[in-house]
Each structure stands twice: as C-alpha cells, then as structure tokens.
C-alpha cells in the first residue's frame, strides 16, 4: 500500500504578524594615502528592524514543522509553490484520490505534535508539594 501524503498544506491567515528584517546602511569614507591618491572605503551597518503584515500563509509540512510566509512576498510564494493546487495521485495507478480517504494532513500532524508537548507533565517533587 502506497502512503499518500501531500507535500505541504497551506492556510491563509489574517491578523497582525511581525517579521524580522535587516536594513543595510552603507557609509562611504574617502581615505587619503601618503602618496596623494585616495581610496573609497565602504562600511556597512546591519540595522535590525520589524515589518508588520496583516495576512500570511501558514505552511504545514508532514515532517512536523511549519513556516509563515507573507502573502505579498510574491517571489517567496512562487518559489514555494503555495498558490498551486496540489492533487493527490496514487503513485502506481496514476488515479486522482479523493482527499477524504487520505491519512492525517500535515497541519493536523503539527497540531497533534504541539498538543502532545503541551500536555506533557513537567516538574517533579516540588510540583507535587505545591498541589498539596
């Protein structure tokens, strides 16, 4: 039996999302040499900043991780192929498979993994003493 799983699952989400960005500031200094010639020296400063967007694609992968991509970043969206419809095809017969008959989606795998981490008991003797 062939395992049928999509490469990724995409969900469009609205809200306020913050992306870290780095601005590069260039300063050009002219340096005079002892022989009378000059040379331009470029100094670059990396300035951290933030960019706020109101709509993103949440991309869930079956390996158990997810990424957030800005909807307006057309180059990134095209590179990842997020707007293309991905059909489910049986590898041996080539028939298109009904999505209702598929195993858990990548998003569901990520959510299940996160829920298991949150339900994990942490602490020890100090936690038990606090409950008493």
Using the structure block, give the residue that is written with the tokens 């994990």: 120
- How many CA atoms does the CB half-sphere of 21 hold within 13 Å? 12
Interval 70-86 mean pLDDT: 80
Provide the whole-model pTM: 0.51
43 or 100, which is more confident: 43
Please tell me the total count of domains within the chain. 1
The pLDDT-based confidence of 60 (bands split at 50, 70, 90) is confident
Residue 53 has pLDDT above 70, yes or no: yes
Q: Does the residue 98 lie in any domain?
A: yes
Mean pLDDT over residues 60-64, rounded? 76
Note whether residue 2 is domain-resident: no
Task: Give the residue, 94 or 111, on which the prediction is more confident.
Answer: 111
Residue 55 lies in a domain: yes
- Domain for residue 69, yes or no? yes
> What's the pLDDT tens digit per position in 8-36?
788 889 999 898 989 999 999 998 988 98
| Closest to 50 (Cα-Cα) out of 74, 65, 70, 79 | 70
pLDDT at 128 over 70: no
What is the Cα–Cα distance from 84 to 57, expressed in whole angstroms?
13
Tell me whether residue 1 is in a domain.
no
Length of the chain: 132
Q: Which domain range does residue 78 map to?
A: 9-119
Residue 128's contacts (CB-CB under 8 Å, 6 or more residues apart) are none
- Share the mean pLDDT of the chain: 78
Residue 124, in any domain of the structure = no
For residue 66, is it within any domain? yes
Higher pLDDT, 73 or 123: 73
Quote the pLDDT of residue 115. Answer: 77
Pairing label, strands 38-60, 9-32: antiparallel
Listed in order, strand segments (DSSP E) in the chain are 9-32, 38-60, 66-70
Assigned domain for 68 exists = yes
pLDDT of residue 9: 80
Structure confidence at residue 118 as a pLDDT band (50, 70, 90): low
């Amino acid at each position: 039996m062939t395992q049928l799983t999509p490469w990724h699952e995409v969900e469009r989400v609205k809200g306020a999302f913050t992306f870290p960005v780095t601005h590069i500031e260039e300063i050009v200094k002219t340096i005079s040499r002892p022989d009378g010639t000059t040379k331009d020296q470029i100094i670059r400063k990396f300035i951290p900043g933030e960019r706020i967007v109101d709509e993103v694609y949440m991309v869930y992968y079956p390996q158990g991780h997810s990424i957030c991509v800005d909807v307006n970043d057309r180059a990134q969206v095209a590179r990842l192929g997020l707007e293309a419809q991905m059909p489910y095809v049986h590898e041996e017969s080539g028939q298109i498979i009904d999505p209702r008959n598929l195993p858990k989606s990548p998003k569901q795998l990520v959510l299940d993994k996160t829920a298991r981490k949150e339900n994990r008991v942490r602490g020890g003797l100090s936690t038990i003493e606090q409950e008493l």
